[in-house]
Amino acid sequence: QVQVVESGGGLVQAGGSLRLSCAASGRTFSSYGMGWFRQAPGKEREFVAAIGYSGGSTSYADSVKGRFTISRDNAKNTVSLQMNSLKFEDTAGYYCAEAKTSSWCAKRSQSEYSSWGTGTQVTVSS
């Protein structure tokens, strides 16, 4: 059974930085893409960033492009999301997920993911 656990959320001032981490276990981590999604109160969960199994393919939501960076360490079974220049509108619960199937390509759709963490809260004060 796949387990996905996020960490690193917290409270930060606008313009600041945070680094989220996600650890996955239960399958061969290096064979599956990973994604980050977020959900703000009263809003639907949305795509943030994704990375393919080798790290050679990444994809970002337009709202975070140039500010967030997704990376992975297959030796440690972890994926990270470096968030810089944070804005108030980045406030949300952030969720990490592991893809259903093996793919070099980064996947943007939530339907491509089968294993989800319980989330970590990011709060940006204005």
Instruction: Return d(Cα 88, Cα 93) in angstroms, integer.
Output: 13
Full DSSP string of 95-125: EEEEESS--SS----GGGEEEE---EEEEEE
In tens, the pLDDT along 99-113 reads 999 999 999 999 999
| 97 has a pLDDT exceeding 90 | yes
Name the phi and psi angles at 106, rounded to 5: -75, 135
In tens, the pLDDT along 29-85 reads 999 999 999 999 999 999 999 999 999 999 999 999 999 999 999 999 999 999 999
| 1 has a pLDDT exceeding 90 | no
Q: Are strands 10-13 and 120-125 parallel, antiparallel or unpaired?
A: parallel
